[in-house]
Amino acid sequence: MWDTSLFLNTLTPKFYVALTGTSSLISGLILIFEWWYFRKYGTSFIEQVSINHISPWISGDYRDDNVNNPQLTQSAIPECKVWRNPLNLYRGAEYQRFYWATNKEPLTYYDMNLSAQDHQTFFTCEADAGKAEYEIMQTAWRERNPQVRLKSAHSALEKNPDCATAYILLAEEEATTITEAEKILKQALKIAEVNYRRSQLLQHQGSLMEAEHRRDTNVLIYIKRRLAMCARKLGKFKEAVKMFRDLTKEIPPIMNVLNIHENLIETLLEMQAYADVQAVLAKYDDISLPKSATICYTAALLKARLVADKFSPDIASKRGLSSAELQAVETIHRAVEFNPHVPKYLLEMKPLILPPEHILKRGDSEALAYTFFHMTHWKTVEGALNLLHCTWEGTFRMLPYPLERGHLFYPYPTCTECADRELLPTFHEISVYPKKELPFFIIFTAGLCSFTALLALLTHQYPEVMGFIAKSVVNWMSLPVYYMYEKFENVIPPNLLQQLIRI
């Protein structure tokens, strides 16, 4: 009935060249369009049409799910802003001990330079002009050599024994234990309180006195915060909590960069006062306030604590997730989307190092700073790490690609890797955002384009050989059709087949 041999014998080599060339051109155009659509919208056009239009149309459940996320539309894409690490260590008592043990510098010059800028901003003012001790301290913060910094601090104290900022530098860098640092800071606190009360009375006598009072306020708050951190490190948790709570009631501008509520959360977690932690989160985990890894992952830990001890991935896959388990998983997804680098450190898939003095939110530096202090809290909650291990990677299936798009938060910044490289020492391997694989249709179209282009080239170079191969392939592919047709013709009467053909 079908005489394909006659048709194939009439085809010339030019036809095969034209056919393969046209196929290559069409598949190339499809590949270009698919790649453009993927770069612009983060997904394959063919895949989107299949899932959102063809499949619902076939199943009879067509609806439009393109609903904008209000949290995404309300949030502006932030720059890679560097923040001061709320839980930064003491250089003399902690960072220096690491250097003695490993002969590796735990802090980069970029990180220390940022700290020097912070100290100059907090601890100096226009009223210091002409005061030898404060002029010495202005230059001391910028010194790279630690011995020169310490020498400058002692020199300032010789000129004025009531120079509180000199005591701060000595507590941070000269003290080799937390106990010594606490002793020096208590001495500085007495001086800072006297200076604060004196400048408070004189602050309305001009702009210089107002600036001096602002500086004295910053010094007092900084010393109290570091004393509270000493108390926490020395195991005096109730004392530390009281000091942190008192500090959170302060409202000077310096409070905007210290993030003392994160110190409070960490101390309460150490005490396993989970109800108090939840109360702090209720105050600070608000859509209008900036997020952090501490906020997001602590919320995930508290949700996981309710279900983690009884969670089993095998059972959950059979019966599905309960409402409490679903809430815990969703909170973990939220935390992982905010900072995707934390789970690898919590699950000990990557080695920890000492955290830097400054962090980049959503970056590797923040992940290190969070995990360094909070890993013990996750280990304390039975099953929490197991729940995290089973669910955290599912976050990336929910996120669109490329990285310029987000789901619950503003898009993940693409500049974090460069900034983290400046903040973290060279011996640390930077954690990067997990890369998604290209959609199947992008790979399929690229392969089809390459294959047809190769066929076009071969057909142009060897038209007779490729024509013979094409005929052989068509004949080979038609054999099953001929076989089925012959069987069908033997079973069905000829008259019936002719009637069907007429119809």
The pLDDT assigned to 78 comes to 46
Tens of pLDDT, residue by residue over 295-345, are 999 999 999 999 888 877 777 777 777 888 889 999 999 999 899 999 999
Average pLDDT, the chain: 81
Comparison of pLDDT for 378 and 35, the residue scoring more: 378
Contact 226, 52 (CB under 8 A): no
Same domain (yes/no): 237, 259: yes
pLDDT above 90 for 250? no
> Comparing 21-30, 46-55, 133-142, 459-468, which segment has the lowest mean pLDDT?
46-55
What's the Cα-to-Cα distance from 152 to each of 75, 110, 133, 188, 335, rounded to whole Å?
A: 45, 21, 9, 17, 44
Same domain (yes/no): 308, 384: yes
Q: Is 63 within the bounds of a domain?
A: no
Contact 406, 413 (CB under 8 A): no
Residue 84 β-bridge partners: 358
Q: Is 196 within the bounds of a domain?
A: yes
Q: Which two tokens stand for residue 43?
A: 């997904």
Overall average pLDDT of the 71-100 stretch: 76
Overall average pLDDT of the 276-296 stretch: 86
Q: 467 pLDDT band (50/70/90 cuts)?
A: confident
d(CA 315, CA 216): 59
Number of separate domains in the chain: 2
Q: Is 494 within the bounds of a domain?
A: no
Place of tokens 């000199």: 166
The pLDDT assigned to 4 comes to 52
Same domain (yes/no): 257, 402: no
Same domain (yes/no): 356, 327: yes
Same domain (yes/no): 353, 206: no
The pLDDT assigned to 62 comes to 41
The pLDDT assigned to 69 comes to 45
Q: Is 172 within the bounds of a domain?
A: yes
The pLDDT assigned to 501 comes to 63
pLDDT above 80 for 186? yes
Same domain (yes/no): 262, 369: no
Same domain (yes/no): 211, 320: no
Q: 240 pLDDT band (50/70/90 cuts)?
A: very high
Q: Which two tokens stand for residue 313?
A: 């991935």
Q: Is 471 within the bounds of a domain?
A: no
Overall average pLDDT of the 159-184 stretch: 93
The pLDDT assigned to 41 comes to 58
Comparison of pLDDT for 330 and 8, the residue scoring more: 330
Comparison of pLDDT for 196 and 494, the residue scoring more: 196
Overall average pLDDT of the 444-448 stretch: 70
Comparison of pLDDT for 484 and 437, the residue scoring more: 484
Written in H, E and C, the secondary structure of 52-121 is: HHHHHHHHCCCCCCCCCCHHHHHCCCCCCCEEECCCCCCHHHHHHHHHHHHCCCCCCHHHHHHHHHHHHH
Tens of pLDDT, residue by residue over 37-75, are 666 655 566 665 655 555 555 554 443 433 334 344 334
Comparison of pLDDT for 235 and 23, the residue scoring more: 235
Q: Is 13 within the bounds of a domain?
A: no
pLDDT above 90 for 485? no
Boundary residue ending a domain (389, 415, 438): 438
Q: Is 401 within the bounds of a domain?
A: yes
Contact 23, 462 (CB under 8 A): no
Same domain (yes/no): 335, 294: yes
d(CA 169, CA 92): 10
Main-chain phi, psi angles of 359, to 5 degrees: -130, 155
The pLDDT assigned to 12 comes to 66
Three-point CA angle 228, 232, 235, nearest 5°: 135
d(CA 140, CA 174): 14
Tens of pLDDT, residue by residue over 143-155, are 888 899 999 999 9
Overall average pLDDT of the 266-279 stretch: 94
| Single-letter amino acid code for the residue at 395 | T
Same domain (yes/no): 403, 326: yes
CATH value at residue 247: 1.25.40.10
The pLDDT assigned to 10 comes to 64
Maximum C-alpha span of the chain = 120
Boundary residue ending a domain (384, 409, 438): 438
Tens of pLDDT, residue by residue over 389-405, are 988 888 877 776 544 45
pTM of the model: 0.72
d(CA 424, CA 189): 32
Same domain (yes/no): 90, 145: yes
Q: 255 pLDDT band (50/70/90 cuts)?
A: confident
Same domain (yes/no): 135, 240: yes
Domain that holds residue 301: 284-438
Main-chain phi, psi angles of 360, to 5 degrees: -110, 115
Q: 437 pLDDT band (50/70/90 cuts)?
A: low
Boundary residue ending a domain (415, 438, 461): 438
d(CA 95, CA 181): 13
Comparison of pLDDT for 428 and 48, the residue scoring more: 428
